[in-house]
Structure 1
Amino acid sequence: MPRLDTRPWSRQAAAFVTAIGLLGSSLAAHAEGQLRIAEQFGIVYLLLNVAQDQKLIEKRAKAAGVDAKVEWVKLSGGPAVNDALLSGNIEIAGAGVGPLLTLWDRTKGKQNVKGVASLGNFPYYLVSNNPNVKTIADFTDKDRIALPAVGVSVQSRVLQLASAKLWGDKEFAKLDKISVALPHPDAAAAIIKGGTEITGHFGNPPFQEQELAGNPNAHIVLNSYEVLGGPASATVLYATEKFRNENPKTYQAFIDGLNDAAQFVTANPDKAADIYIRVSNAKIDRDLLLKIIKSPEVQFKTTPQNTFQLAEFMHRVGAIKNKPASVKDYFFDDAQNAAGN
């Protein structure tokens, strides 16, 4: 059985992180050089891991005459990330396209939250250890599907889109009732071990690959690329308009550092794998990790791709009130987003 990428996680820990953030935000207002970044679990955050390890953001900021202090906050689920951003505990949020669209819609005309960049294209798999489940139509009330946040996370939104395509828009939330919120490491452990109420997990790399390798009954039920019609940016970064406008040097240093990280990973996959293991304290087979990083289905780039179909769907079913005309509505007008879709 492969070593599972598990790290300690608890509600107490989450509360502690939030409390620390609240304290920090009460002591200091936004200022050039202050940058608190929220990330979650998985290889989809590799660009942030590399930027942290190589201090790429700090280097870019220094070149611009800014002494940057970068802090990294680990959270689980879009709602927790969105709450942290709106409460001023972080400047950059890392989560799925679903949470971005939700917050863009709710803050339009107010905080005006928009996307900053993509973290790359990754296929997300809905994996089940129930041999009777071949498609999403085979799930029953006895099954439970784990994902980061029910009805909000990008995994949940993709599952809703797949449900709408199968049963019609009126039934888009059909599988929400058997979905449960669970951090990826815990959900992966449940799928590999078996014997729990969790029989499905809509995850991300490397957890989905660990499940497939660790349980002979584990198999792919749904691939996000198939639902979205091709490679897509599932995980993105976003911020408030206020932070972007009032901290132009810090904001640009972050983007430049992120692009540097994308170039680093593409040119040095082996070094990037070691960085992921070191920064994330991940217990994972290195060969499996390298296989994921080098997969032709995975692309490390900052330009968002194939996000608009999900945005259109969310508006169509009433998940967001504002109808975006294009990706430019919910991503900032920056160079890395110019060719986004």
Structure 2
Amino acid sequence: MKKLMSCILIISIVIMAACGSGKGNKEERTVRINCHDVYAATTLLVMKEYKILEKYLPENVKVEWVELATGPDIRDAMVSGNLDIADLSLMTFIMGYENKLPLKLVSYMGATPIKVYSNSESINSVSDIGTNDKIAITNKTTTLHAAFLGLCEDKLGDAMIYDNNLSAVPAADALASISNSDDYKAAIFSFPNCSKAEELDNVKLLEDMSDVIEKYSVGAASVSSSEFYDNNKDIIEAYKKAQDDVLNYIEENTDEVSVFLAERFGVSAELVKEVIETMPPSKFVNNYDLQAKLLYDNGILTSEPTKFIELENYDEIPME
């Protein structure tokens, strides 16, 4: 009799555990996604505005949009478990990954036009910048920084030649400074701030870094915390499907999307449309290893970087 009761008890526990497991799968979940007003995050801006992700998410999942602006803040929020998917510069991801941070690359997101300007009559190219001339940049480990490293590597043979010249300055302050003072002899801007710089009478273009951006795959990527990625594969797949939908929507409705983005960026829709046509959002990373090598060769990475093909989830990353 005791054996029979024991068997019944064990079976009951197994059944209850199974029922509990099934119930757990139906519990409400939230995916927290970072999105802020930069052109490289166009995919997320459109995804949020038109509620495209919601079409693909399981019924028990809701979206919470977060607006963190700097790479370090975004990275730290992901590592601490307060953010699940975010737009990070590929440079920030590579550095974080090589420093053993629990991050996974979901997909590429896109690049943005980046240009170098000067307000000095004596500076007509990047090579004219002096040893003590300050260069305004929003921050290091950004797409702007990665592009400038590639430019200096290819044009001057030394990616770090102006490393000590770079000064972290908010873009709005940098625009005001090069317009009204000579505190900074040069400044690096991405779209739409590069367009605003071109409206200034005393500011001239030194370098358009579009070729460098393409060569080194300089841009933003969709990144997830490793824990979220591994435990929520259905949400990650939903995100990828939504990204495909967004890219198709932008291609088929460029005028509409241009108007929407123009309102966010404070520039004309015609200008946004031109950028979309010349540098459209993309989900493919083409030259990951080349950018990683650039960082390693110039001491930004202290150990030889992991090859793209050796990333843990390589087979799940969209590739052409």
1:130-169 Cα offsets, whole Å, 9 max, x none, are 232222221125532222323x223223323333445555
Task: Give the Cα separation in 1 of the matches to 2:34 and 2:106.
Answer: 13
Deviation at 1:291, TM superposition (A): 2.4
Q: Higher mean Cα deviation, 96-105 or 230-239? A: 230-239
Distance in 2 (CA, whole Å) between partners of 1:41 and 1:199 is 27
Give the Å deviation of 1:32. 6.9
For structure 1, the 5+ residue unaligned runs are: 1-30
- Match of 1:89? 82
Q: What residue number does 2:7 align with?
A: none
- Give the RMSD, CA atoms, in angstroms: 2.6
User: Partners in 2 of 1:322 and 1:66 — Cα distance?
Assistant: 42
Name the residue aligned to 2:143. Answer: 154
- Measured at CA, do residues 331 and 57 of structure 1 come closer, stay the same or move farther in structure 2, by a change above 3 Å? farther
Alignment of 1:184-203 (within 5 A): 184-191=171-178, 193-203=179-189
Q: Which residue of 2 aligns with 1:47?
A: 43
> Structure 1 residue 311: deviation in Å?
0.6
Q: Structure 2: 5+ residue runs without aligned partners?
A: 1-26
- Residue identity matched to 1:290: K
Match of 2:284 in 1: 303
Contact 2:35/2:45 (CA < 8 Å) preserved in 1?
no
- Residues 225, 238 of structure 1: alpha-carbon distance in 2 compared, 3 angstrom cutoff: same
Which of 223, 245, 261 aligns to 2:230? It is: 245
Distance 1:182 1:334, change over 3 A: farther
SS at match of 1:89: coil
Give 1:156's aligned amino acid.
Answer: H
Residues 190-211 of structure 1: per-residue CA shift (max 9 Å, x gap): 44x3325234222221111221
Letter of the 1:202 partner, please give it: I
Contact 2:146 2:218 (8 Å CA) reproduced: no
Over 3 Å counting, the alpha-carbon distance change for 1:155 and 1:176 in structure 2 is same
Distance in 2 (CA, whole Å) between partners of 1:267 and 1:184 is 32
The structure that has the greater radius of gyration is 2
Q: Give the Cα–Cα distance (whole angstroms) in 2 for the partners of residues 251 and 144 of structure 1.
A: 42
Q: Is the 8 A contact 2:85 2:223 kept in 1?
A: yes
Distance verdict in 2 for CA 1:190–1:329, change over 3 Å: farther
Deviation at 1:337, TM superposition (A): 2.4
- Taking a change above 3 Å as real, the CA distance of residues 245 and 303 of structure 1, as seen in their structure-2 partners, is same
Greater relative CO (CA pairs within 8 A, separation 6+): 1
TM-score, normalised with respect to structure 1: 0.76
Shift of the 33–259 alpha-carbon distance from structure 1 to 2, 3 Å rule, reads farther
Look up the match of 1:204. Answer: 190
**Does structure 1 conserve the Cα–Cα contact (< 8 Å) formed by 2:126 and 2:207?**
yes
What secondary structure does 1:58 align onto?
A: helix
With over 3 angstroms needed to count, the CA separation of the structure-2 counterparts of 1:257 and 1:188, relative to structure 1, is farther
SS of the aligned residue for 2:60 comes to coil
Provide the rounded CA distance (Å) in 2 between the counterparts of 1:42 and 1:206.
8
What number of residue pairs does the alignment pair up?
Answer: 294
Q: Which residue of 2 aligns with 1:271?
A: 256
Q: Percentage identity across aligned positions? A: 18
Query: Match for 2:38: what amino acid?
Result: G
Say if 1:121 and 1:305, in contact at 8 Å, map to a contact too. Answer: no
- Distance in structure 2 (CA, Å) of the matches to 1:40 and 1:249: 24
Would the alpha carbon gap of residues 137 and 71 (structure 1) be closer, same or farther in structure 2, given more than 3 Å must change?
same
Residue 203 of structure 1 aligns to a residue in which SS?
Answer: strand
Alpha-carbon distance in 2 for matches of 1:308, 1:188: 33
* 2:237 equivalent to 1:255: no
2:37 touches 2:45 (CA, 8 Å); kept in 1?
no
Cα deviation digits, residues 255-278 of structure 1 (max 9, x gap): 221221111111111111232245
Supply the distance in 2 between the matched residues of 1:198 and 1:40 (Cα, whole angstroms): 27
The 1:157/1:43 distance shift into structure 2, 3 A limit, reads closer
- Distance in 2, matches of 1:215 and 1:291, equals 20
Superposed CA deviations along residues 27-48 of structure 1, whole A, max 9, x for unmatched, are xxxx874222223442121111
* Corresponding residue of 1:285: 268
Match of 1:20 in 2: none
DSSP-derived class of the 1:202 partner: strand
Superposed CA deviations along residues 172-202 of structure 1, whole A, max 9, x for unmatched, are 43312221123334434444x3325234222
Structure 2 vs 1, CA of residues 331 and 39 (structure 1 numbering), >3 Å: closer, same or farther?
Answer: farther
Residue 185 to residue 49, structure 1, CA distance change in 2 (3 Å): farther
* 1:214-250 deviation per Cα after TM superposition (whole angstroms, max 9, x unaligned): 1134333233333356483412121222111111122
Query: What is the DSSP-based 3-state SS (H/G/I as helix, E as strand, rest coil) of the residue aligned with 1:116?
Result: strand
